[in-house]
Amino acid sequence: MTQLGTLEDLPQDYREAMTAAGVAPLWPMMRNVLPHGKPNPVTKPGFWSYDALRPLLLRAGDLTPVEKAERRVLVLSDPGRGAGAMQATASLYLGMQLLLPGETAPAHVHTPSAVRIIVEGQGGFTVVDGEKLPMLEGDLVMTPGGDWHDHGHEGREPVIWLDVLDLPVFYYLEGSYATEGPLQAQRNRPDAALVEYKSAGLVPSRSRHQARRYPLARFPWARTEEALRAMKAYASTGIAEVDYVNPETGQDVLPTMGFTAMMLGQGEADQPPLRSCSSAFHVVKGRGRTTIDGTVFEWGPKDTFTAAPFAEINHHADEESFLIRAHDRPLQDKLGYYEERAR
């Protein structure tokens, strides 16, 4: 490998003339922007214990009324980028959001997409493009970019969910913005998970029904767990894992972000291949430990952790465990470079 020239190799007057002309030499920076063999992520493994987050979030409920917050959220900052970073990996934003009984989070629409993983509480709902979506623990609820959404709460206890957004991508592209509006009129019918998309493999007949671009906005947890348990019962080896897909196309649920749910049996380990995507894991239930690039995280219910591109990930479940994984493979597929390497 040739050693490239440095800035210091160049005469001072030449460096000053380049700066004055608004240019810079590529070669001293070449290895920073194109490292050899694999990327060199800024992202560090992150871990957020729910026991630590929950009291802070509830205190935000006392300190800041939702009217003063629009969305009452604590953002999970990538340790590699430091306190206050508005991202958990290069492409994924994670935030823990609190809505108290009777509160309303006003309607808005924005360019990034959001997915909620419901962590705690009953009676919360979100209205996406006029469709009222109940938020039950473990549900995955999507708000695709460009769809109006507002949140409400008809229950008695705090409702908490994890927001996963592709906000960093939109922000990087200088494409992130929102529009505000009045609360939406709700269609007087159950959401599509309870009507058109009640059963895997069955979709409304294409000759009679024009499917929406995002036909299924809520994936009820009970069904996901049932599917995983059935697959696990008949799997000879290995963990069970399902992809959340658009039921009409079989493709990823969103343009940039993908989601899977995993079931690990008690005492079971999993060593996924090295993947070029970054991942965020949320524990729906169970206990275990995951080593990410040598850092060990002991996890329990409702904890969240992250892995950078090409991280070495080793999961071990101490009890039967269910995890949801968010990732940016769909974006990398579209850019033409998603890759998995055997270990």
Which residues of the shown chain bind ligand 1HN in the complex (CB under 6 A)?
A: 71, 73, 95, 97, 105, 110, 114, 149, 163, 165, 167
Is the separation of the CB atoms in 247 and 211 below 8 Å?
no
Which residue number, 78 or 196, has a Cβ lying nearer to ligand 1HN? 78
What one-character DSSP code corresponds to residue 245? B
Single-letter code of the amino acid located at 238: G
Which residue number, 7 or 178, has a Cβ lying nearer to ligand 1HN? 178
Find the shortest distance in angstroms from Cβ 169 to ligand 1HN.
12
**Residue in this structure with the two tokens 């493994």, named with its chain if needed:** 45
Is the separation of the CB atoms in 307 and 328 below 8 Å?
no
State both tokens at 249.
Answer: 């196309």
Which residue number, 92 or 292, has a Cβ lying nearer to ligand 1HN? 92
Which residue number, 60 or 211, has a Cβ lying nearer to ligand 1HN? 60
Find the shortest distance in angstroms from Cβ 231 to ligand 1HN.
32
Find the shortest distance in angstroms from Cβ 108 to ligand 1HN.
6
Taking the C-alpha atoms of residue 145 and residue 235, their distance in angstroms, rounded to an integer, is 37
Which residue number, 57 or 114, has a Cβ lying nearer to ligand 1HN? 114
Q: What is the DSSP string of 266-315?
A: TT-EE-PPEESS-EEEEEEE--EEEEETTEEEEE-TT-EEEE-TT--EEE
Find the shortest distance in angstroms from Cβ 117 to ligand 1HN.
12
Which residue number, 149 or 282, has a Cβ lying nearer to ligand 1HN? 149
Q: What is the DSSP string of 147-199?
A: --EEEEE-SSS-EEEEEEE-HHHHHHTT---EEE-PPPPPPSS--GGGTTTSS
Is the separation of the CB atoms in 132 and 191 below 8 Å?
yes
Torsion of CA 198, 202, 208, 211, to 10 degrees: 70
Find the shortest distance in angstroms from Cβ 66 to ligand 1HN.
11
Residue 47: strand pairing partners: 305
Find the shortest distance in angstroms from Cβ 152 to ligand 1HN.
12
Closest CA to 144 of 158, 133, 159, 160: 133
Find the shortest distance in angstroms from Cβ 207 to ligand 1HN.
36
CA 45 to chain centre: 15
Residue 12's CB is within 10 A of a number of other CB atoms, namely 8
Which residue number, 76 or 307, has a Cβ lying nearer to ligand 1HN? 76
Find the shortest distance in angstroms from Cβ 14 to ligand 1HN.
44
Which residue number, 163 or 248, has a Cβ lying nearer to ligand 1HN? 163
